Amino acid sequence: MSSADKKFTARQMREIQAQQLREQTRHHIGDQMRLVRKESSQLSSIWDVDPDAALKFHAGLDLGQLDCGSTPGFEGRKADAKEFVSLSSGEISSFQEQLYANGVKGSRRRILIILQGMDTSGKGSMVEHVFRQTSPMGIHYHGFAAPTDEERNHDFLWRIRRELPKDGWISIFDRSQYEDIVMPRIYGTYPRMIWESRYGEINDFEHRLADDGCSIIKIFLSISKDFQKKRFLKRLDDPTKYWKFDPSDLKARSHWDDYMHAWQEVMERTSTDYAPWHVVPANHRWYSRAALSQILRARMQEMNLAWPPADFNVDEVKQELLD
C-alpha cells in the first residue's frame, strides 16, 4: 500500500466523525468512552510519525537552523489538518469532561500546557482552535505579561503558582516562568547569577508538580523572522488589528538572535523526562494546531481515565424518587 493510500482525506475524516456520532446515540456512557479511544487510534494513524516523539527537543536540535515551514510527520493538506483538529478537539472535550469529573471526586490529576514563542507565533489562536469544543468549566487560560509591582515583591514563581490548574482542570499558560530567565538574560534587568539560578528552581518546581499528578506539556512555537515580518505588516494593514501591535515589538525583533540563543539554552537545561519541551514549526498555523491537538489528545488518552463511581446507593436513591 502506498503512503498516499494510508492517508485520511478530509472526506474520510468527516465519515469517521459521522460514524462516531451515530455510534454515540446507540451506546451507553462506557461504550462511548471506548469508542472515543478507538477513534483516537484511527485519528493518530494519519501521522507518519507521532508528533510527541518527532517534535520533542533533543540534543543536536538547533533552533536557529529549524525549518519553521516544515510539517514533520504530517503530509496532508491544510484542509486535512483543519478537519483533524475539529475531530480531535471533540475527543479532547470528552476526555476533559472525565478529567474534571475525577477532580470533583478528589483525583489530583490535572494538566498544565505552556505555550511559548516569538510575537505572532500563534499562541492565542492556538487555544481558540484546539479547545473550541471544550467546556469552559475546567479550562483556565492565563497570559503572563511583564511582572507587576506586586509580583516583583515576591519570588518569580509566586505568580505562576497562583494560576496553576486545580484538581481535574487544564491550565494553559500564554508565556510562563521561562520569561523570567529569557528577558533578564537579554535585557540585563537582573544579574546573571539570579536568572541562571532559575533553571534549577524551575526544574525542581516542575518535578514536584509532576510527582503530584500534574501532567506538563511545554510547547515552543517556532516561526521564522521573515514570517513574523509578514504577520506584522498584515496587522498594520488592518485597522481592526492595530490593538495587537506595539512599537516595542520591534525592539524584541531586533534581538532575534539573542532570543534564539536564550531559548536554545532554556530547552537544553529544562527539557526533562517529566516535563519535556516540544519544538513545533509554526509558519503554517494549521500544522502547529494539529500537532498540539495530537500531543494533548494522546496524553489524555494515556491517562486511562474512568468515570468516578457513585459514592451513594444508586438503587436506593432511584427508589426514593419513585416513591
- E strand map for 209-273: 214-222
pLDDT score for 37: 56
Decide if pLDDT at 33 tops 60: no
Instruction: For the chain, list the domains and their CATH numbers.
Output: 3-307 (3.40.50.300)
Q: With the C-alpha atoms ordered 230, 236, 237, 239, is the resulting torsion angle positive or negative?
A: positive
**How many other C-beta atoms lie within 10 A of the C-beta of residue 107?**
18
- pLDDT tens digits for 61-75? 999 999 999 999 999
Q: Please name the helix (run of DSSP H) or strand (run of DSSP E) that holds residue 111, with its range, or none.
A: strand 110-117
Which conformational region is residue 73 in: left (phi greater than 0), alpha (psi within -120 to 50 degrees), or beta?
A: left
Place of cell 469529573: 101
Q: What pLDDT was estimated at residue 39?
A: 67
What are residue 147's phi and psi, to 5 degrees?
-60, 140
Q: Which of 106-110, 131-135, 234-238 bottoms out in mean pLDDT, i.e. has the lowest?
A: 131-135
Pairing of the two strands 110-117 and 214-222: parallel
- Residues with Cβ < 8 Å from 202, sequence gap 6 or more? 157, 177, 178, 181, 270
What is the predicted pLDDT for the residue at 136? 87
pTM, two decimal places = 0.87
Strand order in the sheet with 170-174: 139-143, 170-174, 110-117, 214-222, 277-281
CB atoms within 10 A of CB 138: 19
